[in-house]
Amino acid sequence: MNVLVVGGTGFIGYHAVQEFLRRGHRVAVLALPPMPADDLLPPEVDIVLANLDTLADEKVRALLAGKDAVVFAAGADDRVVPKAPAYEFFYDANVRSSLRFFTLAREAGVRRGVLIGSYFAYFDRIWPEKGLSRHHPYIRSRQEQAERALDAAMPGLELMILELPYVFGSMPGRTPLWEPLIRYIRSPLPLFYPKGGTNAMAVKQVGEAVAGAIEQGKGGERYPIGDENVTWADLLNRLSRLAGRRKRVVTLPTFVVREMMRALYLYHRLHGKEAGLDPLEFTKIQTMNTFFDPTGSREALGYGRGGLDEALRDTVRACLPNRSGL
């Protein structure tokens, strides 16, 4: 297939490109400048460095011409803390951008597509009583992004949503988003963290899931993908061992976490900002076990399992580039 990956120089997009190439597909990339590293992608990959949101429709159509499939691995994640109200920012970055792109892709005759989303949208669906999309602008944007993109794409373009958990690994030229956590682990401070846990996976398996969805996924499906359910204590113990600072994880009482989040919430308000994940409400999720069984998605998309320890090692190496022997 001839595939266009939007965001192909980002963490997820880069590994999706590598997997498509491994499987013999032709790949083109649209990404924001600059390139994160020289020779990031092989010469057979067509690379256009531009902002999708400022490209005229005719230029986007030219990029889409002759493409069999597209992957949208762009947008804003939950780390961004924009000016209030936050939903306007996340709507523009996630909903409006992908809606326009998949509309143009369907009109251009593209037949297959993947949208990279968040596993928070999955939990919003299975836990409606928690009102996650009501409390959190980021989660609301991911939920609306999926709904609007599916409406725009289907049935001419078979679009699938991949809902990602926490992902570990590395790529050339970019420092992992986990660098602040690794710095904290390496510091002299005690290792305090909330109770609870999450699902985590290696980025290699994410690339496999993206390519598998394009090749054999079912249009209209939302696939929560993941691998290993881990408690925060287990995850931090593994990271601290790899970072060369073995520490005991001290589990904070939830009321202490809540007060810390209250201070963060007030800090944001004081500066006219609003987080995509409301700090006070997010305490409820952060201190839960946000576990799920990815078996159905793994079987449907054919991606592998395991490799989390090596991905954690790669993450630490990339965060501590001057340390050898990890």
Rounded distance, CA 234 to CA 247, Å?
Answer: 11
pLDDT of 326 reads: 52
pLDDT of 137 reads: 97
Per DSSP, helices labelled H in 35-171 are 57-64, 86-90, 97-107, 119-126, 132-135, 137-153
Q: Tell me the mean pLDDT in the region 277-287.
A: 95
Tens of pLDDT, residue by residue over 142-156, are: 999 999 999 999 999
pLDDT of 323 reads: 55
Residue 216 has pLDDT above 90, yes or no: yes
Structure-token pair, residue 168: 């570990």
Mean of the per-residue pLDDT values for the chain? 96
Rounded distance, CA 304 to CA 205, Å?
Answer: 6
Structure-token pair, residue 178: 């986990």
Residue 138 has pLDDT above 60, yes or no: yes
| Strand pairing class (228-231; 197-202) | antiparallel
Give which of 73, 147, 159 is closest to 110, Cα–Cα: 159
- Output the CATH code of domain 2-175+196-229+291-303: 3.40.50.720
pLDDT of 194 reads: 96
Quote the DSSP letter at residue 164: E
Domain ranges of the chain: 2-175+196-229+291-303
Residue 324 has pLDDT above 90, yes or no: no
Q: Torsion over CA of 30, 305, 202 and 97, rounded to 10 degrees?
A: 30
pLDDT of 158 reads: 98
247 pLDDT band, cuts 50/70/90, is confident
Residue 321 has pLDDT above 90, yes or no: no
Tens of pLDDT, residue by residue over 47-93, are: 999 999 999 999 999 999 999 999 999 999 999 999 999 999 999 99
Tens of pLDDT, residue by residue over 18-42, are: 999 999 999 999 999 999 999 999 9
Assess contact for 79 and 177: CB atoms under 8 A: yes
What pTM does this model have? 0.95
